[in-house]
Amino acid sequence: MDKNTRICIIGGGPAGLSAGMYLEQKGYLNYTILERLDRVGGKCWSPTYKGRRYEMGAIMGVPSYYAVHDVEEFCGITHDGPKLNRNYKNAKGDVIEPFEPKKNILKIPRLLRMKRQIRKFGELLETKYQGYDLNGHRGVAEGRYDGYAVTPGRERVQGINPNLKDLAMPFKEFCAKNGVDLVQDVWIGPYTSFGYGYFDEIPAAYVLKYLDFQTTMNFVKVNLWTWKNGTQYIWEQLNDHLKNPARLNSNIEKVERRDGKVYVTVNGEVEEYDKIIVTAPLYIPNKRTDGQKGMVEYFDARDDEKKLFSRIDYERYDVQAFLTKPENHPEISYYVFDNMVPEKLGHLMVYYRRWRDEIDQVITTYALRKHRNSAEIPYETCRQMVQDDLKTMHNPAEEVINEWSVYYFPHVFSADYADGWYDKVEAMQGKYDTFYAGEVMSFGDMDETAEYSRELVERFF
């Protein structure tokens, strides 16, 4: 492709900013990033309280976040944040240690089985499901793999493996099929509590693209990365180092694609481009109070785009930031496994203390309020449920200072995944001079989205 190609990138989150960085590194300097908000970072949002930043979105990374490390090197920054740790409570607010045999004598047989199953699971993923951990979903529904390895060198890997079709199953069924049901006890912590849905509804492919064996073991060992100035700082720094920083407060009213050109009406003015990369949502199945729309609503969307993208759903994941009285401040972050099941929809799943040296700091809570087989819990109802749960946890909120219900983790369900949804979308890359990136094309964590942008640029530019 001509290096002077005029490229419009929609979205100034990790996917869009990374696309700009990787394009720039390949010599494409005629790109423009349009961001509708007054900040960059997307779901990496780190507001400030009394001079310290707290997290309303992404919290942490792991050493296998190679795309994030690319950004660190590009900007000359590093993961310099507080060391994290956590403990566990049951639904009654009692502190528990679910993985410590000495504290769970009656559960020792189950813990031993779980340990054996985790070992078996690791072996299955490396052998039976070879290729499972490549970024993106190309070929999985067809029983093949095609992508880049989860290694620093990201070598190109391709092959045939019919077993990969199993990844279309809900993760709960996938585990049962392989006789490793108990691994869910470990995978659920960094999965469901982080807002990515429930194991009985979400295809195993999503769970394992994000929580490949290497990444999950880093979570288990608390081998985590954080950033002193928050995860948003990574993307603020990237934006500052790009030759063409994102244009904030860009209200895109219309996109028309005709005669080999792309015409974008932004803030009342029409701009002409040759190609467009969409990292913002492709489809949002309901009207949101924040005004966010899917691309099919403001693009001249074609029938194939409408048909495919209308299959996308997303998680209703709510975050509250609150203060406590000193005597009610939690001494550590807590996971509440009892509440990470569909039957406890809307309840508090995890609450997070970022700094160890300060009581006067913000604590953030996280809850899901939608399962595909149940009615969506209203936002205000969920908000109150979480605050009631904090009282049960003996850490009642004194004041809520921030809250957020974000468009989160776009995905398709098992039937559409097995029907080749991803291969159909991938076959459209470049059609209509349009490329599709962002969360839905890989997974909803910041590294997977950034990595997909790297691969998109590598493949097509």
Average of per-residue pLDDT across 357-381: 94
| Residue 84 maps to a domain | no
Q: pLDDT digits over 389-446, tens only? A: 999 999 999 999 999 999 999 999 999 999 999 999 999 999 999 999 999 999 999 9
**Exposed/middle/buried for residue 272 (C-beta within 10 Å: 0-12, 13-18, 19+):** exposed
Helix (H) or strand (E) holding 114: helix 108-126
pLDDT, one tens digit per residue, over 237-256 is: 999 999 999 999 999 999 99
DSSP string, 126-193: HTTTTTTTSSS-TTGGGTEEEEE-SSTT--EEEEE-GGGGGGGSBHHHHHHHTT-GGGHHHHHHHHGG
Which residues neighbour 324 within 8 Å (Cβ) at sequence distance 6 or greater? 330, 363, 395, 396, 397, 398
**Residue that finishes a domain, picked among 185, 220, 255:** 220
Phi then psi dihedrals of residue 410, to 5 deg: -65, 140
**Model confidence pLDDT, tens digit, residues 121-174:** 999 999 999 999 999 999 999 999 999 887 888 889 999 999 999 999 999 999
In which band, very low, low, confident or very high, does the pLDDT at 289 lie, cut at 50, 70 and 90? Answer: confident
384 or 105: which carries more pLDDT confidence? 384
Element (H, E) at 235: helix 231-241
Examine the pLDDT at 103 and tell me if it is beyond 80. Answer: no
Percent of the chain clearing pLDDT 90 (strictly above): 93
Q: Domain holding 379: CATH number?
A: 3.30.70.1990
End position of a domain, from candidates 178, 193, 220: 220
Which of 200, 220, 240 marks a domain boundary? 220
Task: Tell whether 37 and 176 lie within a shared domain.
Answer: no
Please check whether residues 209 and 141 belong to one and the same domain: yes
Range of the domain at 216: 103-220
pLDDT of 151:
81
Count: domains in the chain: 3
Residue 60, pLDDT above cutoff 90: yes
Residue 293 lies inside a defined structural domain of this protein? yes
Does residue 202 sit in the same domain as residue 107? Answer: yes
Instruction: List pLDDT tens digits, range 370-394.
Output: 999 999 999 999 999 999 999 999 9
**Is residue 126 a part of any domain in this protein?**
yes
Statement to judge: residues 303 and 325 lie in one domain: no
pLDDT at 287: 84
Model pLDDT for residues 46-57, shown as the tens digit of each residue: 999 999 999 999
Instruction: List, for residues 192-225, the tens digit of each pLDDT value.
Output: 999 999 999 999 999 999 999 999 999 999 999 9
DSSP 297-329: HHB---HHHHHHHTT-EEEEEEEEEEE--GGG-
Contact call for residues 398 and 363 (beta carbons, < 8 A):
no
CATH of the domain at 454: 3.50.50.60
